[in-house]
């Protein structure tokens, strides 16, 4: 081929490529933000937010299209956590949230509000928090076939019904676990209930999640952490037994002192105490003594026998003198329920058992969480309405009408609603972190008893005036729990495509 002909062809090819580049840039500028299609007799590469002209045989046009596609991928899209640091950050926030809501519900029970009323309020805002997360995080960015947004998947129930059933099963397990936990706080105490239930959840649930996630977490790190949680659970049961023995000893000493005319804090003995005093029998003169004695009972020191009796008089669940094994049985049941809801959610979002058609994308975490929370809400409403008319553990009988008009003292209803919202957000952040770093590592948020124990000691006076043996066991339990949490977080790893 003559040299001038080759130069002419190269020059024309260069000019054509330059024009193609300018045309692509021009079309991109005009069509950005829309889905305009141009029909000029040339193949079209269409992306979500713009169309790119691709002349046949033009490698430069294809390269420009790829650059444009990469630019489109950098646009705002559904928020999904994909890095380890972001997942650990969400775990930390979830830890605080999930460690705080049990304290609020325990406060309300100790004030005498019926647990059925509290749990109904709690369930409402727990579900509303899931709806809020789905309509915000789940709707950010474009709706693509690979990552459909929340509302799109919500209308495709027939395609996703196996995953929806897994999510719903997880919600039922969470509802049963939370209901059992609420009674466990009264029988066993806030600190021990949270430690034992959380430890059982980790021992069973983390092992299941490890295998469901394709063993993405570091086994040599993960399972020693699981062992630490198991030890913490055993120590928790020993703390409860030791503290129960301390309480029985306090009550025995109080009865002995009462026989020697010591002050008795039982409200039923208040009248007898006043009649034995050498004061005027005039009712008007006795009124100040009654008020003063009542005030003294309300101000009893935490950790004393009088405090225990006074608490029993006020609280809605009567537990003084109950069987220790009953309380531990309730907590074990709660722990098993908690252990099952995360693996069920894992199956809903990652389809490890391949129940969906091969071409169907997995449920996004926000859609799965909506169905999870919906089933949890439905189960909670059914159970607690039934418990209104058939209560257990010495709780008074109630009704729907009584619930609707029960606003409680000191904003009790608002506190219960707040606790539900806090729990809903905490679970959402846990699932978002688990989708990125593995649900086995996300179980590190079960360090929530560290927060609950702090509030239990500060607000409720738990373990005040207990024996040295109880304090030693409590410190050992918390130390083992901190070690277990750190080890579990250290096992985090990136999720591999299934």
User: Rounded to whole angstroms, how far apart are CA atoms 98 and 446?
Assistant: 8
What is the number of other CB atoms lying within 10 angstroms of the CB of residue 42?
Answer: 14
Q: Categorize the per-residue pLDDT at 116 as very low, low, confident or very high, splitting at 50, 70 and 90.
A: very high
First to last CA, the chain: 54
| Contacts with 332 (C-beta within 8 Å, 6 or more apart), sequence order | 196, 200
**Shared-domain flag, residues 66 and 192:** no
Contact (CB, 8 A) for 113 and 467: no
**Shared-domain flag, residues 59 and 201:** no
**Shared-domain flag, residues 384 and 354:** yes
234-281 confidence digits (pLDDT tens): 887 788 778 878 888 887 777 766 555 444 544 455 445 444 544 444
Q: Is residue 66 part of a domain?
A: yes
453-494 confidence digits (pLDDT tens): 777 777 777 778 888 998 898 889 888 878 887 888 788 776
**Shared-domain flag, residues 377 and 274:** no
Question: Range with the lowest mean pLDDT among 50-64, 163-177, 267-281?
Answer: 50-64
Q: In which domain, by residue range, is 45 found?
A: 3-73
Choosing from 73, 96, 121, the residue where a domain stops is: 73
**Shared-domain flag, residues 340 and 227:** yes
Per-residue pLDDT, averaged over 405-424, amounts to 89
Q: Is residue 359 part of a domain?
A: yes
Q: Categorize the per-residue pLDDT at 77 as very low, low, confident or very high, splitting at 50, 70 and 90.
A: low
Per-residue burial over 139-154, b = 16 or more CB atoms within 10 Å of its CB, e = otherwise? eebeeeeebbbbebbb
**Shared-domain flag, residues 482 and 359:** yes
| Contacts with 79 (C-beta within 8 Å, 6 or more apart), sequence order | 137, 140, 141
**Shared-domain flag, residues 287 and 232:** no
**Shared-domain flag, residues 475 and 327:** yes
219-237 confidence digits (pLDDT tens): 888 889 888 878 877 887 7
Per-residue burial over 207-231, b = 16 or more CB atoms within 10 Å of its CB, e = otherwise? bbbbebbeebbbeebbbebbebbbb
**Shared-domain flag, residues 31 and 170:** no
Q: Is residue 498 part of a domain?
A: no
* DSSP three-state, residue 176: helix
**Shared-domain flag, residues 281 and 338:** no
Copy the structure tokens of residue 176.
Answer: 């049963």
Choosing from 18, 49, 73, the residue where a domain stops is: 73
Alpha-helical runs (H) found in 189-275: 190-201, 207-212, 219-259, 270-275
Confidence (pLDDT) at 426: 95
**Shared-domain flag, residues 234 and 275:** no
Total domains present in the chain: 3
Of residues 317 and 36, which shows the higher confidence score? 317
The distance from CA 105 to its chain's CA centroid, rounded to whole angstroms, is 15
Percent of the chain as helix, strand, coil, to the nearest 5: 70, 0, 25
85-107 confidence digits (pLDDT tens): 888 888 889 988 988 888 888 88
pTM listed for this prediction: 0.70
291-300 confidence digits (pLDDT tens): 444 344 445 6
User: Rounded to whole angstroms, how far apart are CA atoms 84 and 489?
Assistant: 10
Say if residue 33 is exposed, middle or buried (CB neighbours under 10 Å; 0-12, 13-18, 19+).
exposed
Q: Is residue 310 part of a domain?
A: no
Q: Is residue 241 part of a domain?
A: yes
**Shared-domain flag, residues 64 and 90:** no
Choosing from 52, 73, 94, the residue where a domain stops is: 73
Q: Is residue 481 part of a domain?
A: yes
Q: Is residue 167 part of a domain?
A: yes
Q: Is residue 227 part of a domain?
A: yes
* Percentage of residues in the chain having pLDDT higher than 70: 69
User: Rounded to whole angstroms, how far apart are CA atoms 365 and 69?
Assistant: 25
Q: How would you write 88-131 as a 3-class SS string?
A: HHHHHHHHHHHHHHHHHHHHHHHCCCCHHHHHHHHHHHHHHHHH
Say if residue 35 is exposed, middle or buried (CB neighbours under 10 Å; 0-12, 13-18, 19+).
exposed
35-45 confidence digits (pLDDT tens): 333 333 333 33
Contact (CB, 8 A) for 24 and 52: yes
């Amino acid at each position: 081929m003559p040299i001038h002909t080759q130069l002419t062809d190269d020059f024309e090819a260069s000019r054509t490529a330059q024009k193609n580049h300018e045309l692509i840039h021009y079309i991109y500028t005009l069509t950005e933000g829309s889905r305009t299609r141009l029909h000029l007799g040339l193949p079209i590469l269409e992306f979500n937010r713009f169309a790119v002209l691709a002349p046949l045989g033009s490698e430069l046009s294809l390269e420009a299209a790829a650059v444009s596609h990469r630019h489109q991928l950098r646009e705002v899209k559904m928020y999904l956590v994909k890095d380890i640091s972001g997942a650990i950050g969400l775990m930390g926030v979830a830890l605080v949230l999930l460690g705080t809501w049990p304290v609020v519900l325990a406060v309300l029970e100790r004030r005498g509000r019926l647990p059925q009323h509290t749990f109904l309020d709690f369930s409402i805002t727990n579900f509303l928090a899931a709806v809020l997360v789905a309509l915000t995080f789940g709707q950010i960015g474009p709706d693509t076939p690979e990552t459909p947004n929340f509302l799109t998947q919500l209308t495709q129930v027939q395609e996703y019904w196996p995953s929806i059933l897994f999510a719903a099963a997880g919600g039922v397990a969470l509802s049963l676990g939370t209901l059992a936990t609420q009674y466990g706080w009264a029988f066993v105490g806030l600190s021990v209930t949270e430690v034992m239930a959380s430890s059982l959840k980790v021992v069973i649930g983390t092992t299941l999640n490890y295998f469901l996630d394709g063993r993405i977490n570091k086994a040599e790190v993960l399972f020693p952490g699981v062992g630490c949680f198991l030890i913490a659970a055993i120590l928790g049961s020993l703390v409860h037994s030791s503290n129960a023995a301390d309480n029985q000893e306090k009550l025995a000493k109080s009865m002995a002192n009462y026989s020697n005319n010591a002050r008795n804090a039982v409200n039923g003995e208040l009248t007898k105490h006043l009649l034995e005093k050498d004061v005027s029998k005039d009712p008007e003169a006795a009124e100040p003594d009654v008020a003063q004695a009542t005030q003294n009972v309300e101000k009893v020191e935490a950790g004393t026998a009088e405090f225990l009796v006074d608490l029993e008089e006020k609280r809605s669940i009567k537990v003084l003198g109950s069987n220790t094994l009953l309380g531990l049985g309730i907590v074990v049941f709660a722990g098993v329920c908690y252990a099952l809801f995360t693996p069920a959610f894992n199956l809903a979002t990652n389809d490890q058992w391949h129940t969906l058609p091969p071409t169907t994308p997995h449920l996004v975490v926000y859609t799965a969480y909506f169905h999870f929370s919906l089933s949890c809400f439905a189960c909670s409403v059914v159970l607690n309405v039934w418990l209104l008319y058939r209560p257990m553990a010495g709780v008074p009988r109630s009704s729907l009408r009584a619930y609707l008009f029960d606003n409680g003292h000191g904003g009790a209803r608002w506190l219960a609603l707040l606790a539900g919202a806090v729990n809903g957000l905490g679970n959402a952040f846990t699932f978002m972190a688990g989708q990125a770093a593995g649900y086995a590592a996300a179980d590190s948020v079960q360090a929530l008893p560290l927060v609950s124990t702090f509030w239990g000691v500060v607000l409720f006076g738990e373990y005040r005036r207990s024996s040295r043996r109880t304090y030693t066991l409590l410190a050992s339990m918390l130390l083992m729990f901190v070690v277990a949490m750190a080890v579990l977080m250290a096992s985090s790893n990136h999720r591999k495509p299934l």
